[in-house]
Amino acid sequence: MFIPVIGAGSIGRRHHDNLGALGVRTALLPWRAFAPEQLDGADAVVIATATQVRLELVQLAAERGLPFYVEKPLSHDLVTVDAILAAAGPLARRSMVGFMMRYHPAFRALARLDLSRVYEASFGIGHDVRLWRKNWSFAASYAALPEGGGVLLDLCHELDMALTLLPQAQVAGVASLGHVRFPGVDFASRISLEGAGLIGSVAMDYLSPVSFRRIVLRGSDLVADFDLIAGRYRLDEGGRTRELELPFERNDMFLAALRDFLHLAREEPVSDVEHLPRLDLASENCRAIARAWGARRFTGSVMGDYA
């Protein structure tokens, strides 16, 4: 099986290495040097480019009947999301969106619970973007682009998790903070969620000097307080509190997602993951992320040198 990876950034290199570890023949193809004939002989393709250049690659894959694994978010623009879904057609049932947090053991533990009585939900993630990777420049990266960049798109796993675990939730509004040097780029965003008997929020930022990732759910019959950075998972059900043991290695999520993609591409049974991020099944969340990006309301600016 031959699966090239288009996009030679950090995530593209990870997918390339993982495909090799799974015994798949692969090639790492930088976007700027990519030519369509490099897909000749491929059985599927991984698209790990910047957000704004994915539609044409999906169209190329679809023309060749190639299932594809496309990184999240599908697009920042709702029209483009719908164009990608239309181009995929029946291939959407054999393709995948890179919502790899659905394979995180904490998310999977929550997905197995009855969350129908949750009335308040909080999802949050933050990390100083300047500390993400050694010798990495925010200003020169995709993240600094006014279309396709910014924290809401970059860290949209949190919104995907919220909408997947709590299907009654709807985006009610988005408040964002920008930066004077990067017009149209959100450095912090808070998404308000509303639904039948539910209020909640999803907050993400590029600013926090201390990394955090946390999910707190309150319901009439349970309270879940999950700290994904510390690896502390506390669940209270009917007054009985327990700490969950959920061993975690980050790359395991990527490997698990790629294994399921390989099964989809071969039309084989997939794993027992609770919410498979197959493109057709994840399409509404892709639309919701694009709508949230379009609904951002900038309320102020942050300071700091992000050159």
Q: How far apart are CA 259 and CA 134, in angstroms?
A: 29
Q: How far apart are CA 306 and CA 177, in angstroms?
A: 15
pLDDT score recorded for residue 244: 97
* pLDDT over threshold 90, residue 307: no
How confident is residue 135, by pLDDT bands cut at 50, 70 and 90?
confident
Q: How far apart are CA 301 and CA 33, in angstroms?
A: 37
pLDDT score recorded for residue 221: 94
Beta pairing class for 212-219 and 118-126: antiparallel
The string of pLDDT tens digits covering residues 193-226 is 999 999 999 999 999 999 999 999 999 999 999 9
pLDDT score recorded for residue 36: 96
Positive or negative, the CA dihedral 51, 173, 112, 216 is: positive
Owner of token pair 């879904």? 85
Higher pLDDT, 136 or 11: 11
* pLDDT over threshold 80, residue 277: yes
The string of pLDDT tens digits covering residues 95-106 is 999 999 999 999
Q: How far apart are CA 38 and CA 29, in angstroms?
A: 8
* pLDDT over threshold 90, residue 239: no
* pLDDT over threshold 90, residue 137: no
36 prior amide bond cis, ω within 30: no
pLDDT score recorded for residue 134: 74
Closest CA to 49 of 21, 101, 84: 84
Question: What structural domains and CATH numbers belong to the chain?
Answer: 2-100+256-278 (3.40.50.720), 101-247+288-301 (3.30.360.10)
pLDDT score recorded for residue 85: 98
The two structure tokens encoding residue 249: 């290695």
pLDDT score recorded for residue 202: 98
Q: Report how far Cα 225 is from the mean position of its chain's Cα atoms.
A: 21
pLDDT score recorded for residue 136: 79
Q: Contact, 69 vs 98, CB < 8 A?
A: yes
* pLDDT over threshold 80, residue 248: yes
The string of pLDDT tens digits covering residues 39-97 is 999 999 999 999 889 999 999 999 999 999 999 999 999 999 999 999 999 999 999 99
